[in-house]
Structure formats: structure tokens, C-alpha cells
């Protein structure tokens, strides 16, 4: 992973974005990470938006905890309930 202190960042954002390859560029302020530039190959904006949404991530975590505590149903059972399996 590459790192760069903000006070040493003299190139344009476009130049840094073009230089990002397989490893992210982490921007530091006084040695502490504050942002990162990463390649998002084959990613659509909706998936990117959801993967960084605190509300969506909270919903997933609450769902996981509920399934752990109460159990869930199989995908086959859900298909049966929806009339997709006969």
C-alpha cells in the first residue's frame, strides 16, 4: 500500500487517481490516514454507494444479529413461499 502525506501532495488529484493501480494510495495527515484512493474496476455506482453507506451497513449488521439470534429460512424455503419452486 502506498502512502502520501497531504503536505507533500503537490500533483493534481487527476494525476494521483491515474497512478492508482492494484494497491490503494492512502493519504495521511500527520501520519494518520484520512482518505484513500482505490481502483474500482467493474464496480457500479450503486454497489459502491451501498458498500459505503452507514445506514445500509447497519441494516446488514442488524439482520445478521437477528438471524443469529432467531434463525432464518433457507433460500429454497423463500423460493417456495414466493411460488418460485413447485
Asked if residue 47 belongs to a domain, the reply is: no
Asked if residue 86 belongs to a domain, the reply is: no
| pLDDT at site 42 | 66
33 and 7 both lie in a single domain = yes
Asked if residue 24 belongs to a domain, the reply is: yes
Asked if residue 61 belongs to a domain, the reply is: yes
Asked if residue 44 belongs to a domain, the reply is: no
Asked if residue 65 belongs to a domain, the reply is: yes
**Domain count along the chain:** 2
3-state helix, strand, coil in the chain (%, to 5): 50, 15, 35
Domain hosting residue 72, numbered range: 54-81
| pLDDT at site 82 | 93
Each residue's pLDDT tens digit, 19-55:
888 889 999 999 999 999 988 876 788 888 888 899 9
pLDDT exceeding 70 applies to what percent of the chain? Answer: 97
Separation between Cα atoms, residue 66 and residue 58, nearest integer Å: 12
| pLDDT at site 86 | 67
Asked if residue 20 belongs to a domain, the reply is: yes
Q: Which residues pair with 29 in a beta bridge?
A: 32
The backbone torsions φ and ψ at residue 39, rounded to the nearest 5 degrees and listed phi first, read: -70, 140
33 and 58 both lie in a single domain = no
Amino acid at each position: 500500500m502506498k502512502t502520501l502525506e497531504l503536505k507533500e501532495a503537490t500533483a493534481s488529484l487527476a494525476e494521483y487517481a491515474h497512478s492508482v493501480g492494484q494497491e490503494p494510495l492512502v493519504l495521511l495527515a500527520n501520519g494518520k490516514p484520512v482518505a484513500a484512493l482505490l481502483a474500482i474496476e467493474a464496480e457500479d455506482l450503486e454497489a459502491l454507494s451501498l458498500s459505503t453507506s452507514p445506514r445500509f451497513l447497519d441494516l446488514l449488521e442488524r439482520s445478521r444479529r437477528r438471524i443469529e439470534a432467531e434463525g432464518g429460512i433457507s433460500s429454497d424455503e423463500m423460493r417456495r413461499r414466493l411460488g418460485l419452486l413447485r
